[in-house]
Structure 1
Amino acid sequence: MAVTGVSIFPASLSPVIRRDFTPLVGKFSKSKNSISFRRLAVSTEQTPTTTATPTPTTRRLSEKSEELGEAEVAASVDEVKQNGRVWREYFERSKELISRSDGGPPRWFTPLECGPPLKNSPLLLFLPGILSVGLGLIKNHCRIGKIFETWCLHIPVTDRTPFTDLVKQVEKTIRSENDRSPNRPIYLVGESFGGCLALAVAASNPDIDLVLILANPTTSISRSQLQPLMTLLEFIPNQLPFSPPNMLSLMTGQPLRTAIESVVKGLPLQQTVGELSQDLDAISSYLSVLAGILPRETLRWKLQMLKSGSAVSNSRLHAVKAQTLILSSGRDQLLPSQEEGERLCHVLPKCEIRKFNNSGHFLLLEDGIDLVTIIRGASFYRRGKFLDYVSDYMLPTPTEFKKIAEDNKWIGAFTSPVMLSTLEDGKIVRGLAGIPSEGPVLLVGYHMLLGFELVPLIANIFRERNILVRGIAHPMLFMKKGNIQEMFLDVSQYDMYRIMGAVPVSASNLFKLLSSKSHVLLYPGGVREASHRKGEEYKLMWPEQSEFVRMAARFGAKIIPFGAVGEDDISELVFDYDDQMKIPYLKDQIEKLTNAAVNLRTDATGEVANQDLHLPGILPKFPGRFYYYFGKPIETEGLKQELKDRDKAHELYLQVKSEVGRCLAYLKEKRENDPYRNLLSRLIYQATHSFTSEIPTFKL
């Protein structure tokens, strides 16, 4: 890994003074008031009375360098994951930090690998768990440091600051930072005990724009497996030898499960066991570091702090108004975290939850857990008081795209999508060469049943052309807990769409996307088309009035009509909306869900006005194939004035609709001549050639 380090300063210092220590991040300090060494630059200076010097200038990054930075960070994260040495790094850094700490009050530090952040990044304060070293985000430092100004709280081993005083110190920090940048949100990431600290701070500061990210908070300590240990420590005499609790197994997970999962992924058992043994031996060698972090007296104090923090934060939950994201582990051996996460989610008014069923208590240190991806997927990242789905969005990293593609690779495997596009001269070619590289571009097409076509469409365009298509999506994908707590919907299933750039449907979002020269995906048929009835497949259900033509002309966007067919080859609709509305219970559920969602097209008439939300009942078929055909781009450049005339705009609207219908008809006819339309024929072809070879299709 690259050289890493931190700059440490007392938590009680004013924010302006603290920024004077920023130069310590990235170089060694030679001041007589600081200690310099290989990884850490630690300030031993107490609260100064001198006037602060100007804040150092932060370097600015262009949009292109931002994207490169994202790719570099993703590579760093992959490297850490592949090396499998997160815990070794954690203990090495902890040992170094503890040995150089002066035992003074709690203080903030910024890891070297965390900075500098991008322009206008929000502030993130990390509040640690029971170990209190402040390195709980070590696996996430690189990515977090790109999009947040990151400060981590370090509580020295010998420090005995009471919980209420810790709350006051964090409060002082957020108030000072809020005064300095009142329009910038402040994120409190609380791990375990830090979750209680974050809740207590938020309860006392409802007027400050706080965003809470709580990973397995210890608000459920009264139901914890640590309760017997708390009681035992009260009676063990100080003279008796006492080693730290067996936390290594709790922290590192279940070795047997790790080995089994590795074998399932295709890794040789001998290799897996060997690597696992090396990792466990390395971790075991740091048992003395754990003893240094949690000697008996410190452990006794920490456990008392857990009880105090839990009691205080639970008593103040009613006052917490901050936007909150709970991260709950399913295999937490210390706390009933998923049960507690559900409880907090019902108590807190602006709360959402994300569950990690195979993770343990120390969630943020586990492989496969990327905090930035989680925050972005939940639409919790913003730079201002309100989330802007366009300006606050960041491109998916290669790692994020790979993960989404892996999770959905079965769709491509079963449907072997055929992608056709049209060049400017009208020639139809296989592939996506006909889609313009430069925006603004508006892709307008047919919405298959349940949106089956979405993942292959967006993934293939991104993979082949390196173009991210931003989808205009139904507000249901962005519904919050308060709207759907009675609907039993898991909104986390939509996280991948948000990571890939989906935005809620609105004229303002379409305006912003086109003005930023984006590639935008639009389905005029919307929900009604994607949840059509029996016998309505491939029927366009567009509004009578034109909705997007004049907006496209305003920015000179190219309109690309497209068709997608194949839904009838993979499924059969057997229980549609009409069937469900005949059953009183289902009718009631449909009405509740529809009323909870944002009402769209309230001024529309006819079938398209029926925006009732429901889940059609389908039966799977032996898979056929998906086909996509992108027609010739329709130019709107120079038509801004002409299309102000409603009749002319409507004429172009009907032209686009006609072209989409033509694309559908073309594909439905041509697929009849595809010798590889059936899955069995495609498997035979791959078996006789290679499983990575491109499968032929009909002649163009």
Structure 2
Amino acid sequence: MASNALSLLPSCCRSPSIFRHEPTSSSPLLSTRSKLARTTRLAISTDQTPVFTTSTATALSESDKTKTKTEEEHLALEDDVGDDQASEERASLNQFFEQAKGLLRSDDQYGQYGTGTPRWFSPLDCGSGTPSNHDSPLLLFLPGIDGTGLGLVRHHQKLGKIFEVSCLHIPPKDRTPFTDLVKLVGRTIRSEHDASPDRPIYLVGESLGACLALSVAALNPDIDLELILANPATSFSKSPLQAVLPLLQFMPDSPNLSLPHILSTITGAMVASLEKGVGGLPLPQTVGKLSRDIIEPSISNLSVLADILPRETLLWKLQMISTASTYANSRLHAVKAHTVIVSSGRDPLLPSQEEGQRLKSLLATCQVRTFEDCGHFLFLEDAFDLLTVIKNVGIYRRSKERDFVSDYIPPSPSEVKGIMEKNRLVNIIMSPVMLSTLADGKMVRGFAGIPTEGPVLYVGYHMLLGFEIVPLVTQLFEQKNVHLRGIAHPMMFLKTKNGSLPELTLYDDFRLMGAVPVSGKNFFKLLSTKSHVLLYPGGVREALHRKGEAYKLFWPERSEFVRMAARFGAKIVPFGAVGEDDIGDLLLDYEDQMKIPFLRKSIEDLTAEAAKVRSTVDGEIGNQAMHLPGIVPKFPGRFYYKFGKPIETAGRKQELRDKEKAHELYLEVKSEVEKSLAYLQKKRESDPYRNLAARLQYQAIHGFASEVPSFDLD
């Protein structure tokens, strides 16, 4: 993996709009955005503030130069972010080293090679941002032990389309104390906040940079920050690198002792120490692996590694990490910013998985995402995509409050493909039957009757636990290129710190595909943007129904969605889905569980924790008690979907303002859903392939990609 080749080389960053760069066309690493009108300066930790001049730009490596994109070259945000080809091409490991060499050469203007003070820069491959880049939030990258600020090199192009990206560069010979780095970043975010109070600031840090981000957030609780931390070095006290510190202090000072050489030497020293019975040191195999991981893939770049982390710099950085870990840990109680921790499952340097859970328990609002097969330098892993994480977690916003419609970033083709592959087995096993109705009332197989142009409102029945959603959303997207955005329960977007509701990770794919919390505001915005919207009037009560209630609708006696659809001339597509009774039997329902004391207590706690979406509705329709039904799995049957004839509301806005007229249409939609359910329940009895064994036999003969037949249509 790429991370192994840079086993001790974290981080990357770029320059904030507090440092308004003058256009610098000759710089391969500086953005030339015209919006940066004010004079830009490099942030440093001393009183001096040298201007990043053209001479600095020309000192950068010529091989790194790329063309700056013009506004005309940028596509609309939705298309731009969704392009998985050249626009999302990631930099190779060699480009990392080439750009690192360029940055080190640029330090020359401040003195000797590799000297200078910490400063911000804007990677050119972040592009010019979106066409409305002035509305983009600011992303500051805080590097780890390498200090180059190039740790996000694989992510620059994607991030540059939706963020204004700035990276912090710490020259190898710089000896700015950690507390001064905290002040430097603090001044930056304070200035940015003062200039744009409503603009959120994202601090992305890895290892040492994560400690820096936490420390800055603790000292600035009044600033709107979002933290994204990769393998935080707050667990440095448990790192095998602790053993490196005393050994480095006694090693001879030599320009030939770069990081790989040092680790190789330390490996032998540790073996000797262990053979003598000296306890307290990590296993020699661990350090041996670190040495091999760095040396073997990086022979051609040893000179760059030696420049980035010579012995004295490595010693300084390890001592700084120790200080940073203590400093950040002592201030965790003061961190109020929402935090996302991305942890590696195979981190040889830090106990990152355990640390992620520890920090989650200590921070005010924190989510953790773990990547089991990744190493320490997560941002350099091929399998890791920072923008996908941001989408999954649902933290992208352009102002203080997130707008679930205008701030939404559509999934890229690779992200959609990942979701499809993840659910491929479900679609194969369930082999869903999709039926739709044409405008003339004729029923056909597939989605030919589904409108292509929005706005379209899909109104249907919610199976037990929402089993029908995955085949519905994925197949509509795959076969019809319809991006269905669901109106979802708020529990998919918010979880209390120590609550008992399901972990938010379970709903990552739903957020990625554009689900929004149920609200009139979100519903209005989706229809106003001509979206395809999925609505279940029965809500939780329908999805968590009791025994004997399968395929029974629990709709409130309100017709608001009809009038909202008419306001935008949306087509209403009623649909039914059956098959839940073919995959499991309901053993313990709500009534059963309420008779068991400890389960009743659990239901009461869950219901109290979950947001109320029908607090004004009385009776069983408003009783959306949260519980997990006890289900006994069955040999899988099959899912069936029937989409009714689209109901036009265009031109009926005035007519449907009348409550009685609106209610009539509401009852028509409900009746169509019930008719679809009844039709499917009856017709599936004549399906020769309703049983999984029959379908598998058919697919074994005709191929698993083939469509399995079902019943004859009337």
TM-score range, shorter chain: 0.7 to 0.9
Contact 2:13 2:165 in 1 (8 A): no
Match of 1:112 in 2: 124
Superposed displacement of residue 92, structure 1: 3.7
Superposed displacement of residue 151, structure 1: 1.0
Match of 1:312 in 2: 327
| SS of the residue 1:622 aligns to | coil
- Using the alignment, how far apart are the partners of 1:237 and 1:604 within structure 2? 77
- Using the alignment, how far apart are the partners of 1:149 and 1:639 within structure 2? 44
Q: In the TM superposition, what are the counterparts of 1:426-505 in structure 2 within 5 Å?
A: 426-482=441-497, 485-487=498-500, 489-505=502-518
Superposed displacement of residue 138, structure 1: 1.3
> Structure 1: which amino acid aligns with 2:93?
W
* Pairing partner for 1:35 from 41, 44, 58: 58
- Using the alignment, how far apart are the partners of 1:115 and 1:57 within structure 2? 6
- Using the alignment, how far apart are the partners of 1:14 and 1:692 within structure 2? 51
Considering only aligned residues, what root-mean-square deviation do their CA atoms show, in Å? 2.8
* Pairing partner for 1:558 from 565, 571, 577: 571
* Pairing partner for 1:336 from 337, 340, 351: 351
| SS of the residue 2:249 aligns to | helix
Cα distance change of structure 1 residues 190 and 359 upon mapping to structure 2, 3 Å threshold: same
- Using the alignment, how far apart are the partners of 2:637 and 2:459 within structure 1? 24
Match of 1:682 in 2: 695
* Pairing partner for 1:75 from 71, 77, 85: 85
* Pairing partner for 2:104 from 84, 98, 109: 98
| SS of the residue 2:141 aligns to | strand
Superposed displacement of residue 668, structure 1: 1.1
| SS of the residue 1:108 aligns to | strand
Cα distance change of structure 1 residues 469 and 23 upon mapping to structure 2, 3 Å threshold: farther
Contact 1:534 1:573 in 2 (8 A): yes
Question: Which range is displaced more, 613-622 or 189-198?
Answer: 613-622
* Pairing partner for 2:187 from 161, 172, 185: 172
- The Cα offsets for residues 633-677 of structure 1, whole Å up to 9 and x where unpaired, read as 111122222222222222211111100000111111111122221
- The Cα offsets for residues 48-75 of structure 1, whole Å up to 9 and x where unpaired, read as xxxxxxxx9983788x632332233x23
Cα distance change of structure 1 residues 23 and 501 upon mapping to structure 2, 3 Å threshold: farther
Contact 1:623 1:679 in 2 (8 A): yes
- Using the alignment, how far apart are the partners of 1:637 and 1:432 within structure 2? 22
- Using the alignment, how far apart are the partners of 1:287 and 1:175 within structure 2? 39
Structure 1: where are the runs of 5+ without partners? 1-7, 43-55, 250-276
Superposed displacement of residue 19, structure 1: 4.5
> Structure 2: which amino acid aligns with 1:614?
H
Q: In the TM superposition, what are the counterparts of 1:597-616 in structure 2 within 5 Å?
A: 597-616=610-629
- Using the alignment, how far apart are the partners of 1:339 and 1:456 within structure 2? 35
Residue 576 of structure 1 pairs with residue 589 of structure 2: yes
Q: In the TM superposition, what are the counterparts of 1:95-244 in structure 2 within 5 Å?
A: 95-102=101-108, 103-118=115-130, 119=132, 120-238=135-253, 242-244=257-259
Superposed displacement of residue 453, structure 1: 0.6
- Using the alignment, how far apart are the partners of 2:424 and 2:372 within structure 1? 22
- Using the alignment, how far apart are the partners of 2:585 and 2:22 within structure 1? 63
- Using the alignment, how far apart are the partners of 1:99 and 1:680 within structure 2? 67
Cα distance change of structure 1 residues 288 and 444 upon mapping to structure 2, 3 Å threshold: same
Match of 2:37 in 1: none
- Using the alignment, how far apart are the partners of 2:449 and 2:695 within structure 1? 26
- Using the alignment, how far apart are the partners of 2:14 and 2:160 within structure 1? 21
Contact 1:14 1:176 in 2 (8 A): no
Superposed displacement of residue 98, structure 1: 2.7
Contact 1:35 1:41 in 2 (8 A): no
- Using the alignment, how far apart are the partners of 1:564 and 1:246 within structure 2? 64
Residue 512 of structure 1 pairs with residue 522 of structure 2: no
> Structure 1: which amino acid aligns with 2:607?
T
Contact 2:63 2:98 in 1 (8 A): no
Q: In the TM superposition, what are the counterparts of 1:281-680 in structure 2 within 5 Å?
A: 282-482=297-497, 485-487=498-500, 489-680=502-693
Contact 2:104 2:171 in 1 (8 A): yes
Contact 1:420 1:431 in 2 (8 A): yes
- Using the alignment, how far apart are the partners of 2:547 and 2:88 within structure 1? 46
Structure 2: where are the runs of 5+ without partners? 1-11, 33-51, 109-114, 265-291
Superposed displacement of residue 22, structure 1: 7.1
Contact 2:485 2:516 in 1 (8 A): yes
- Using the alignment, how far apart are the partners of 1:493 and 1:549 within structure 2? 31
> Structure 2: which amino acid aligns with 1:89?
Q
Cα distance change of structure 1 residues 531 and 19 upon mapping to structure 2, 3 Å threshold: farther
- Using the alignment, how far apart are the partners of 2:511 and 2:471 within structure 1? 16
Cα distance change of structure 1 residues 225 and 282 upon mapping to structure 2, 3 Å threshold: closer
Match of 2:21 in 1: 18
- The Cα offsets for residues 382-404 of structure 1, whole Å up to 9 and x where unpaired, read as 01111111110021110110111
Q: TM-score, normalised by structure 2?
A: 0.85
Contact 2:139 2:201 in 1 (8 A): yes
Superposed displacement of residue 132, structure 1: 1.1
Contact 1:88 1:282 in 2 (8 A): no
Identity of aligned residues (%): 59
| SS of the residue 2:560 aligns to | coil
Superposed displacement of residue 428, structure 1: 0.8
Contact 1:10 1:106 in 2 (8 A): no
Q: TM-score, normalised by structure 1?
A: 0.87
- Using the alignment, how far apart are the partners of 1:180 and 1:470 within structure 2? 35
